Structure 1
Amino acid sequence: MAEGEGFVEGASATLYNRTVYFNRDFRDSTPGQSKREESATSFLLNFQSGFTQGPIGFGADVIAMQGIKIDSSPSRAGTGLLALDNNGRAKDEYAEIRGAVKMAILDDTVLRYGVHQPENPVAYYDDSRLLPNHYQGYSITNNSIDALFVEAGRLTDRGEMNSSNETDGIHADGKDLTYFGGTYTFTDNVNLSLYGADSEDQYKRGFVGFDWTIPLSEGTSLNTYVAYYDTSDENKNDGDEYDNQAGSIAVTLSTGNHAFGLAYQQMNGDGRYNYDDGEIYLANSVQYSDFNGIDEKSYQARYDYDFAGLGIPGLTFMTRYIYGTDIDVNAPEHAADGVTRDNHWERDSELRYTVQNGMLEGLNVRWRNATVRQDANFDGGDIDENRLIVGYTWTLL
């Protein structure tokens, strides 16, 4: 019979600092604000206890977060880094503390109540700005069967990335989300994921994902990842805004320090792929766009390089180009000129470096750039975006 290693003995604690400079230039393609530009720093304390000893163990987790303004102005606010007051000015700081209690049964089943940061295809927390968002709710996970991980949960409240408050439900209209599913790992190179979700009176969503890596030779492999979502609208009075079938396939050839990728993604149904989470498992969900318009088809080419091949370990580079076409615009402003279909594209580049040794070992610096060209009526118009992110983690326990 398995036993926990102890509440204190199994505990861990980290303090993470992230500083972000965010600049989104709208290139005068939209009326009003010409750009959003702010910088801020944050601290995130994450304490996770172990479980008390015995066949049933108990534990508790705590997350404490604080965001602090470095630079902002009303004319440049709204990046999502900082909370805004009633006058549209960024607040100087915001902070919150959330916790959870948990129970482990025979070390392979864990029940949890309180704060959640789920990481699955139908419920995934958002960590794209200064601090991550979170949810309140309850869940259960189990890995008693070798190679099989299963989980289920219900998320009842949502805390945003730039706020000290929580909203009732995880959607704007207060709806809760129930999710369930799991992943079976056939071999080290093959796994299959199946998930489902039910957002009350809004939609039901199913997901299947298949990941397969084929070793071709020493240092060379071919990876194929297929993702498919089927979302049905539960409220027929809202115009079928959730009715959507979304699928993608991505193929990546890795050889030495290089990786070359191609991806195709397609939307079907009466609506676009709508979601309120931070991550979706579609290949063309990238820095700015998700390429999830009604009937949209999109294509991606990607290249990655690890500079360890040139004697600079810790430095990596990525660039990709995504083109979306055949979008059902379905907007009155296009009726006069007869436009019913549209297209857009996005080009991303990312340079990341992690200090490998010395006093600053573990310091991570990341620069992300996006260039987006699209109709102003489609999704905000043209933008040029740069994000500079510096992060460091202290291990306390």
Structure 2
Amino acid sequence: MSAAWALTSLTVGLGLTTTARADFIDDSKLSLGTRNFFFNSDNHSGGADQKEWAQSFKLDYISGFTEGTVGFGLDLQGMVGVHLDGGKGYHPAVNSFTPSKGDGSAESTWASAGATAKARFSKSEIRYGNTLTPNLPILVANDGRLQPQTFDGGMITSKEIDNLTLTGGQIEGVKGRASTNSTGLSVTGATRDSNKFLFSGGEWKVNKDLTLQYYYANLENFYSQNFLGLVHVLPITNDSSFKTDLRYFKSTSDGRNGETGYAFNNNGGYAKNPGKVDNTTWSTMFTYTLGNQSLMLGRTEVSNDGGFVWNSEANVVNKYGKNESQGGISFYLFNDATVGSFARAGENTNFGQYSYNFSGVGFPGLKASISYLRGEDIKAADGRGSDQHESEIDTRIDYLVQTGPLKGFGTTLRHGTYQGGSTGIADQDQTRLFFNYTYNFL
């Protein structure tokens, strides 16, 4: 983090003239986000159940920029977690959302802090620190549990050319949803990590209805990945439209991938070259929206040579003297469902979702959706067994208070029912209940 603090010192020592200080401070925002989270996972055919309840507090200070040709700023973040319920037997040592003690129970409290220095020139912005939360096709920060995942490194975003957004950078570490420390990045199944995830790309808004995307990413010694995307919205009437969303990923092995410690387990499925990344994945989604309701249908096809790949945190169980579960990486496909991933070699997944906004019937702030995924043609891990299948039904209800003293208070209920079918993976019901509220001081 030396570069981040160097930029911070420059901000404080050189940039803050009397006039500049007004923009740095007057444009600042200070907020306290609270999240109360209940999680219940019921494994019907094997494996331990998980049942936990916890509270999180997240304090964010977002500064403005100093005046001048180059403006400087600083973002600060502090997070505290409090475990409320869920003892031994209901708290897994890994893949949880709270750190673990040596006896297998959850830590009662934990905390972390971070900072990101930033600079702005014309229509470009650079950030370096450990509170980054990128949302890109090749790198998606996860915020699906108690605390958000944050990344260490630097990013630059440029909008110098109208309708074109360019992004690039290097990620050097990641702090998971149940950790107070950063670690390197890796892939599922590997025991080694990397502190060099390079990426670049951009989005071109051709016109108001069409957006084209291209991104490249490289996780050193693991994989290289190219992404192409197209999003088109066709207006039909004043209150109806048809959206097309096409996504293509091409992933190949890099450096030491496949060697001991750098091997990828292909999400538990087949690999033509065991331990090596070798994958092509297509996804298509079509959404018809009419008034307050929408219907989405789509399909994802994973190539036969190996499973889809995305980066994850390195395994840090006992690395810092306590178990800090690092699970919870997201990826840019609808297959990233509540329970399952639907991303193994040969898997062809058909899916659909119906969504309804109740504002049209007098209940503003209330939304609901139900989705179904069915993955078939999964190649058995040995490459010789019969093709396998799996399925999942997900429901979601969101409500955000619109007026009154509780304005901005939000509730989200998510439930997923996963059936492993012929894969041998345990059937599972998973329920997540969130209560969110953010108080803005500035």
Q: CA deviation at 1:10?
A: 1.9
Q: Is the 8 A contact 1:367 1:389 kept in 2?
A: yes
Q: 1:168 & 1:289 partners in 2: Cα distance? A: 24
For 1:271-282, list aligned pairs within 5 A: 271-276=306-311, 278-282=329-333
Are 2:169 and 1:118 equivalent residues in the alignment?
Answer: no
Q: Could you tell me which of 30, 43, 64 is aligned with 1:26?
A: 43
Task: Give 3-state SS (helix, strand or coil) of 2:432's partner.
Answer: strand
Matched residue, 2:407: 361
- One-letter amino acid matched to 1:112: R
How far apart are 1:165 and its partner, in Å?
A: 1.3
Offset of 1:275 from its aligned partner? 1.5
The one-letter code matched in structure 2 to 1:389 is F
Query: As a proportion of its length, which structure holds more strand?
Result: 1
Name 2:437's counterpart in structure 1.
392
**Count of aligned pairs:** 385
1:50 Cα deviation after fit: 1.0
Partners of 1:24 and 1:139 lie apart in 2 by 36
Residue of structure 1 equivalent to 2:76: 62
Opposite residue 154 of structure 1, the aligned amino acid is: Q
Q: Distance in 1 between matches of 2:241 and 2:330?
A: 26
Query: In structure 2, what is the Cα distance between the partners aligned to 1:236 and 1:291?
Result: 22
Shift of 1:128: 1.2
Q: Which residue of 2 aligns with 1:134?
A: 150
State the one-letter code of the partner of 1:93: T
Shift of 1:331: 4.3
- TM-score after normalising by structure 2: 0.84
Give structure 1 regions of 4+ aligned residues with deviation exceeding 6 angstroms.
Answer: none
CA distance in 2, matches of 1:281, 1:164: 26
Q: Does 1:187 align with 2:203?
A: no
2:104 to 88, 91, 94: 88
Stretch moving more, 263-272 or 314-323: 263-272
Deviations 1:110-169 (A, max 9, x none): 122112111111112111110011111112111111111111111111111111111144
Equivalence for 1:143: 159
Q: Determine the C-alpha separation between the residues in 2 that align with 1:141 and 1:218.
A: 34
- CA displacement at 1:80 relative to structure 2: 1.9
Distance in structure 2 (CA, Å) of the matches to 1:224 and 1:257: 19
Could you tell me which of 267, 271, 275 is aligned with 2:302? 267
Partner residue in 1 for 2:244: 224
- The Cα shift of 1:76 comes to 0.5
Change (3 A) 1:169 1:285: closer
The AA in structure 1 aligned to 2:386 is: T
C-alpha RMSD of matched pairs (Å): 1.8
Structure 1 residue 63, shift from structure 2 partner = 1.2
Counterpart residue number, 1:211: 231
Amino acid at match of 1:185: K
Kept in 1, the 8 Å contact 2:389–2:423? The answer is no
C-alpha contact (below 8 Å) 1:153/1:179 kept by paired residues: yes
Q: Which structure is higher in RCO with an 8 Å CA cutoff and minimum separation 6?
A: 2
State the shift of 1:240 in Å.
Answer: 4.7
Gap runs ≥5 in structure 2: 1-18, 264-273, 313-328
Alpha-carbon distance between aligned partners in 2 of 1:168 and 1:374, rounded to the nearest angstrom: 31
Percentage of matched positions with identical amino acids = 27
Residue in structure 2 matched with residue 156 of structure 1 by the alignment: 172
Deviation at 1:242, TM superposition (A): 1.8
Alignment-mate amino acid for residue 390 of structure 2: H
5+ residue gaps, structure 1: none
Whole-angstrom distance in 2 between the partners of 1:306 and 1:244: 37
